[in-house]
Amino acid sequence: MKWVALAVAVAAVSGALVLSLYMLFRKVLPRRAEEIERAFGGRQVIKSTRRANSFGKLSMKYARIKGNGVLALFPEELVFHMFYPKLEYHVPLDRIEKIEHPKFFRGRSALREILAVCYTEEDGSEDAIGILVEDPHDWANVIKQEAFKRHTRMID
């Protein structure tokens, strides 16, 4: 009898977990993406995707905050808005030093190349953000073209 009760409890918890994940991916995340895109206002979006996964920033040594979100390129900056927790990373195009495509970033791997944007902070320190996107080479090319067009500087 104990095993039957345990099996029923495990099935109930598993069902609740599956339902919660379904609600998260079907209802909550699309609403959060729409909320983020509304926050862009009337700004000109050069390129964007709702299917970006941040591997975090190098400067965040101990905080291993990572997550899915919206990546958007504007004429003046690259912005990543994370779904949950609600975090934003802003990288001005005129501060980008180079763009790389490593398979590992901050000890994590997606088993494919990611977009790693290396830039200089306001205080002069160097930092980088790693983001998994569908075509990191295309993203890199568009970012480089926009930075050159707007700021007449080449990015490695």
In the predicted structure, residue 90 carries a pLDDT above the cut 90: yes
* The CATH number of domain 43-151 is 2.30.29.30: yes
CA distance 38 to 120: 28
Question: How confident is the model at residue 67, as a pLDDT?
Answer: 85
In the predicted structure, residue 102 carries a pLDDT above the cut 90: yes
Tell me the domain boundaries of the chain: 1-39, 43-151
| pLDDT tens-place string over residues 27-86 | 655 666 677 677 777 788 889 898 899 998 888 776 667 788 899 999 999 999 888 788
Please report which confidence band the pLDDT of residue 110 belongs to, taking 50, 70 and 90 as the band edges.
confident
Question: How confident is the model at residue 127, as a pLDDT?
Answer: 94
Q: 102, 130 in Cβ contact below 8 A?
A: yes
3-state secondary structure of 91: strand
- The tokens describing 61, both together, are 């040594």
CA 109, 110, 111, 116 torsion: positive or negative? negative
DSSP 27-87: IIHHHHHHHHHHHTTTPPPSEEEEEEEEEEETT-SS----EEEEEEE-SSEEEEEESSS--
